[in-house]
Amino acid sequence: MEKVLYNNIGQLLTLAGVAKKQGRAPTESDLGIIENAAMVVDSATNKIEWIGEQKNIPTPFRKLVNQFSSEGEVWLPELVECHTHLVCAGNRHHDYAQRCAGKTYQEIAAAGGGILTTLKHTREAGYTALYESALKELERFQKFGVGAVEIKTGYGLTLESEIEILEVIAALQKTTSLTIVPTFMPAHATPPEYKDRTDAFVDVICQEWIPEVAKRNLAEYFDAFVEKGFFDVTQTRRMCEVALQNGLKLKLHCDQFNDIGGTDLGLELGVQSIDHLDHVSDANIQKLGKADTVAVLLPGASLYTGTPYPPARKLIDAGARVAVSTDFNPGTSPSRNLPLMTTLACSQMKMTVPEAVVSITYNAAAALGLENTLGTLEVGKEFRVCSLRADSYEVLPYSFGEIE
């Protein structure tokens, strides 16, 4: 069997110690840093066979024909982007201009802009245009070292267009080398057909949409936007219960602008991740500290909407599993730059550099339930590496999104 030896890797991070702590309160000593490292990969299975210091390479591996030098590189696990809304059409620069002129996200949404603007463009775009633009977005993510991407629906909001978006995601799973996780998010906004009748919209989601999507096996997760003017806790609970009965796992958008009880519900249901958390209560910070639920923080959305950043420091100090993501979407965070989010995490949310690295690798994988396959570099795991042209992993937030 063909084996490949990568040698002279300037610095390699295994993150093995991070996994032992479930990604909680990671410090530099958990990163498994090996200076001047080497790695042997079985090219038939793409699995890692050996990792260690260059000076300790076992003799048989030293004689391998296939050897590559990775001098001047830092290797860490492939980055994981755990929260995007990337299948959509059109742009929202007018929303942005209105926000700069003093309107809030919710005022724009209530006036029929916001998500509903993207809805109109997405419904009109058609399968091919949606597929091509999503593919381009994924390529942009890949340039930043990303190897896995979660993608939510939520800009169709008819059963037909939501399924079209899920089919685009299914096609991307087949045509790209990325790991792609599909999330069904019909409870993103109330579409025009149900204007002022959100309960009736929730009825149709529960009675028809979730069972149909589950029957077609098109989604792994269900997600909802729990927020004033969007979906309340009673509505969200109903949808989550039906989603669970239909075999979907759960994620929730909570506390982005207001705490209306979404995080309490998410903790009660033991959802995989609760995302945003900008206005999470102190009591729920403590509960997240003990829960398996991953706290996914989205500093790009805070930066772009000019709203407060989530309390990363308090969450990590309480013991929470904290991931960071771009939240890529046309309205509140049109960025594919996951490394830049670590700069915001460190400078604006006072995370340490090791915490930031873990938040876009191991903990982001945990937000998708994939921490046993992604997020660390260990013998027996797949060879999926993010390689930086640098002398230390510390360049990740330092580079201000301009990593090489």
Residues that bind ligand NIG (CB under 6 A): 85, 114-115, 118, 225, 253, 256, 301, 327, 329-332
As given in the structure block, the two tokens for residue 323 are: 């991931």
Please, what's the b/e burial string for 12-50 (b: 16 or more CB within 10 A of its CB; e: otherwise)?
bbbbbbbbeebbbbbeeebbbbbeebbbbbeeeeeebbb
Q: Would you say 85 or 381 has its CB closer to ligand NIG?
A: 85
- Nearest approach in angstroms of CB 163 to ligand NIG is 20
Q: Would you say 10 or 114 has its CB closer to ligand NIG?
A: 114
Q: Binding mask 74-113 vs Fe ion (x if CB under 5 A, - otherwise)?
A: ----------------------------------------
Which of these segments, 86-94, 163-171, 326-334, 393-401, binds Fe ion (CB under 5 A)? 326-334
Three-state secondary structure call for residue 399: coil
Residue 67, Cβ density class (10 Å: 0-12 exposed, 13-18 middle, ≥19 buried): middle
- Nearest approach in angstroms of CB 117 to ligand NIG is 8
Angle made by CA atoms 138, 141, 147, in degrees to the nearest 5: 90
From the list ligand NIG, Fe ion, none, which binds 336 (C-beta under 5 to 8 Å, kind-based)? none
- Nearest approach in angstroms of CB 253 to ligand NIG is 5
- For residue 60, which amino acid is it? P
Rounded-to-integer distance, Cα 100 and Cα 324, Å: 25
- Nearest approach in angstroms of CB 376 to ligand NIG is 27
As given in the structure block, the two tokens for residue 269 are: 């249901």
Cα 356 to chain centroid distance, Å, stands at 14
State the sign of the Cα–Cα–Cα–Cα dihedral 23, 251, 231, 123. positive
- Nearest approach in angstroms of CB 227 to ligand NIG is 7
- Nearest approach in angstroms of CB 95 to ligand NIG is 8
Which of 30, 137, 327, 355 touches Fe ion (CB under 5 A)?
A: 327
Q: Would you say 32 or 154 has its CB closer to Fe ion?
A: 154
Q: Would you say 70 or 190 has its CB closer to ligand NIG?
A: 190
From the list ligand NIG, Fe ion, none, which binds 77 (C-beta under 5 to 8 Å, kind-based)? none
The residue to which tokens 């990775």 are assigned: 70
Q: Strands 385-389, 321-324: parallel, antiparallel or unpaired by DSSP? A: unpaired
- Nearest approach in angstroms of CB 65 to Fe ion is 48
Element (H, E) at 75: strand 73-77
Tell whether residue 232 is a contact of Fe ion (CB under 5 A). Answer: no
Rounded-to-integer distance, Cα 263 and Cα 284, Å: 7
As given in the structure block, the two tokens for residue 298 are: 């989205």
Q: Which residues bind Fe ion (CB under 5 A)?
A: 327
